[in-house]
Amino acid sequence: MTKHGAVVVPEDAVVAAAAVGWMEKHPSALGKFEALAAAAKGKRIVVFLDYDGTLSPIVEDPDRAVMTDEMRDAVRGVAARFPTAIVSGRCRDKVLSFVGLEELYYAGSHGMDIQGPTNAAASKGGEEEEESVLCQPAREFLPMIGEAYAALVEKVEGVIPGAKVENNKFCLSVHFRRVDERRWGAVADQVRAVLRGYPRLRLTQGRKVLEVRPAIKWDKGEALRFLLSALGFSAAGDGEDDGDDDDAFPIYIGDDRTDEDAFRVLRARGHGAGILVSRFPKDTCASFSLRDPGEVKDFLRKLVTCAAA
pLDDT tens for each residue of 10-63: 656 545 666 788 888 999 999 999 999 999 999 999 999 999 999 999 888 888
Backbone angles phi, psi at 249, to 5 degrees: -130, 90
Q: Three-class SS of residue 158?
A: coil
Residue 68 and residue 196: Cα distance in Å, rounded? 40
For residues 290, 296, 301 and 303, what is the CA-based torsion angle, rounded to 10 degrees?
60
Q: Which of 165, 265, 188 is nearest to 222 (CA)?
A: 265
Q: Are strands 84-87 and 105-108 parallel, antiparallel or unpaired?
A: parallel
Neighbouring residues of 128: CB distance < 8 A, sequence distance ≥ 6: 118, 119, 121, 122
- Return the CATH fold of 139-214: Alpha-Beta Plaits (3.30.70)
Q: State pTM to two decimals.
A: 0.87
Neighbouring residues of 186: CB distance < 8 A, sequence distance ≥ 6: 160
Q: Three-class SS of residue 253?
A: strand
Angle between helices 220-230 and 260-269 (to 10 degrees): 50
Expressed in angstroms, the distance from the first to the final Cα of the chain is 55
Output the pLDDT for position 104. 97
Q: Please give the DSSP secondary-structure letter assigned to residue 101.
A: -
Output the pLDDT for position 1. 46
From the list 12, 50, 52, 245, the catalytic residue is 50
Amino acid at 226: F
Residues paired with residue 175 on neighbouring β-strands, in sequence order: 164, 209
Output the pLDDT for position 271. 83
Which is it for the CA torsion 287, 87, 94, 158, positive or negative? Answer: negative
Residue 115 and residue 132: Cα distance in Å, rounded? 5
50 is catalytic: yes
| Among the four given CATH numbers 1.10.1040.10, 3.40.50.1000, 1.10.287.3610, 3.40.50.740, the one describing domain 25-116+218-308 | 3.40.50.1000
Tell me how crowded residue 69 is: count the other CB atoms within 10 A of its CB. 9
Check: CB of residue 191 under 8 Å from CB of residue 201.
Answer: no
Angle between helices 184-195 and 142-152 (to 10 degrees): 140
Domain regions of the chain by residue span: 25-116+218-308, 139-214
Residues of the chain with pLDDT under 70: 1-18, 119-131, 235-246
Output the pLDDT for position 106. 97
What are the CA-CA distances from residue 194 to residues 148, 151, 205, 281 (Å)? 7, 7, 16, 34
